[in-house]
């Protein structure tokens, strides 16, 4: 009788704990949030980008680079083939994506691109494209030379390290130097899948520099996601997607980071793009992560774009630029402005090109 009572109490305690964790997960994923439509003028789908456009970065000359075809466990993927990198010349009114050919010895069949970043070597104007790659579920960073006139990527190097174990995004700060985010702490199932339910804040940012200099530079994230730098590269911005906030960090001479503050954004924001002239942050966000995880075609996850102005000031201005309930765009992950246009990408859905209203 005593054993039965003990077992019953244990089951009851576990049920209470599980219920509390599910309630917390619904709170974190903003499960009860419903969007009011807030569309931009002249938003049109970009032809040819139908298997997601998880990350977008734009070069100073208006050349956008886009990672597509990401396959993530737990989220849908409509592509049976490998991922790809596309380019769009935003100075061309046709907004026509061109697939970049990957030259030299590189395994294109297992290419699964995630976050991307560029670095231009001022000594010879070489443009390097850094790509987070997940071949067969692993995490590694690929470095390519971007040959713009030939629409070609030349593979330079693959970087792996034990600290780069669950990489989501990357920001390049040198020819082989970068900061990267780890969006999970656990690698093995079932703990990896259960991690959001556990509500842990064990994820990190990692700096990778010259040979031998790889280290954790910031910790305490529920899930570290998008990352970028200020135009002068003196500050690093890192997204804690489940914390609904952007962390602002000051970069030191030795590439360590000092946390300055966090800015609440009220949404599950993914990638961060920084407008070079103003320093404004543009965030592609998931307004209801519960719907994204459930993936119900009758109740699709929506999309949201948030802009942060004057982020280094005492009173940053956080504003919603675009919102859709999923009827147009599902699962927005990035927003990149250029020349009065805004490209909005998604994890597994289509991409949009919108006109920015003059007051924005």
Which residues are the active-site residues?
Answer: 114
Burial profile 36-45: b = 16 or more Cβ within 10 angstroms, e = fewer? eeeebeebee
Taking 3-state DSSP, the helix, strand and coil percentages for the chain, each rounded to the nearest 5, stand at 15, 45, 40
Give the DSSP H/E element, type plus range, for residue 289: helix 289-294
* CA–CA dist 321, 133 (Å, integer): 30
* CA–CA dist 180, 230 (Å, integer): 15
* CA–CA dist 201, 184 (Å, integer): 9
Give the DSSP H/E element, type plus range, for residue 197: helix 191-198
Give the phi and the psi of residue 276 in degrees, each rounded to 5.
Answer: -60, -35
């Amino acid at each position: 009788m005593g054993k039965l009572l003990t077992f019953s109490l244990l089951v009851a305690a576990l049920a209470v704990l599980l219920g509390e964790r599910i309630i917390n997960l619904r709170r974190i994923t903003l499960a009860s949030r419903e969007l009011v439509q807030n569309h931009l003028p002249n938003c049109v789908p970009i032809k040819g980008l139908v298997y997601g456009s998880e990350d977008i970065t734009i070069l100073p000359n208006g050349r956008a680079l886009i990672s597509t075809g990401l396959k993530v466990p737990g989220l849908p993927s409509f592509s049976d083939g490998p991922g790809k990198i596309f380019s769009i010349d935003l100075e061309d009114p046709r907004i026509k994506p061109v697939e970049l050919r990957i030259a030299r010895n590189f395994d294109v069949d297992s290419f699964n691109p995630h976050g991307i970043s560029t670095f231009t070597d001022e000594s010879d104007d070489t443009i390097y494209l850094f790509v987070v790659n997940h071949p067969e579920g692993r995490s590694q960073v690929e470095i390519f030379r971007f040959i713009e006139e030939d629409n070609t990527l030349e593979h330079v190097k693959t970087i792996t390290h034990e600290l780069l174990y669950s990489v989501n995004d990357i920001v390049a700060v040198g020819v082989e130097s970068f900061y990267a985010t780890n969006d999970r702490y656990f690698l093995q199932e079932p703990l990896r899948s259960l991690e959001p339910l556990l509500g842990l804040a064990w994820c990190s940012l990692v700096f990778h520099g010259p040979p031998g200099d790889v280290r954790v530079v910031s910790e305490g994230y529920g899930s570290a996601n998008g990352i970028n730098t200020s135009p002068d590269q003196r500050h690093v911005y890192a997204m804690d997607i489940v914390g609904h906030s952007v962390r602002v960090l000051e970069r030191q001479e030795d590439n360590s980071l000092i946390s300055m503050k966090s800015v609440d954004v009220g949404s599950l924001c993914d990638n961060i793009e920084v407008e070079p002239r103003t320093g404004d942050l543009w965030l592609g966000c998931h307004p209801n992560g519960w719907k994204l995880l459930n993936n119900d075609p009758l109740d699709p996850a929506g999309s949201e774009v948030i802009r942060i102005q004057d982020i280094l000031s005492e009173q940053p201005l956080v504003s919603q630029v675009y919102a859709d309930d999923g009827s147009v765009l599902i699962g927005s992950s990035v927003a990149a402005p250029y020349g009065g246009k805004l490209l909005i990408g998604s994890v597994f859905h289509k991409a949009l090109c919108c006109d920015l209203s003059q007051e924005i």
